Amino acid sequence: MRRRILISNDDGIYSPGITALAKVASRFGEVRIVAPDVEQSSMSHAITASRPLRYKPIRLDDFAAYRVNGTPADCVALGTHHWGHVDLVLSGINLGLNLGNSCWHSGTLAAAKQGALLGVRGIAISTFVSEKKEPDFNKLEPYVAKVLELLLEEKTMSLVNVNLPEKPRGIRWTRQSVRQYDGKVVPGKDPMGRPIYWFTVTPVVGAEEGTDRWAVEHNWVSITPLRLDLTAEKDLARALALPQARPISVTKKRKLTGPSRKKTQKRRLGVE
Ligand code: MN
Q: What percent of the chain has pLDDT over 90?
A: 78
Nearest to 221 by CA among 106, 111, 103, 140: 140
* Domain range 4-180+207-231, its CATH number among 3.20.20.80, 3.40.50.2300, 3.40.1210.10, 3.65.10.10: 3.40.1210.10
Rounded to the nearest angstrom, the distance between the alpha carbon of 24 and the centre of ligand 1 is 19
pLDDT bucket at 232, cuts 50 / 70 / 90: very high
For the entire predicted model, the pTM comes to 0.87
Rounded to the nearest angstrom, the distance between the alpha carbon of 87 and the centre of ligand 1 is 23
Give tens-digit pLDDT for 4-63: 999 999 999 999 999 999 999 999 999 999 999 999 999 999 999 999 999 999 999 999
Give tens-digit pLDDT for 112-121: 999 999 999 9
pLDDT score, position 258: 55
Res 269 pLDDT > 70? no
- Average pLDDT estimate for 175-183: 80
How far is 117 from 159, CA to CA, in rounded Å? 9
Rounded to the nearest angstrom, the distance between the alpha carbon of 95 and the centre of ligand 1 is 6
As annotated, the residues of the chain forming the CATH 3.40.1210.10 domain(s) are 4-180+207-231
- The string of DSSP codes covering 122-172 is EEEEEE---SS----HHHHHHHHHHHHHHHHH-SS--EEEEEE-SS---EE
Q: Contact, 75 vs 108, CB < 8 A?
A: no
Give tens-digit pLDDT for 122-173: 999 999 999 888 999 999 999 999 999 999 999 899 999 999 999 999 999 9
Rounded to the nearest angstrom, the distance between the alpha carbon of 11 and the centre of ligand 1 is 4
DSSP 183: E
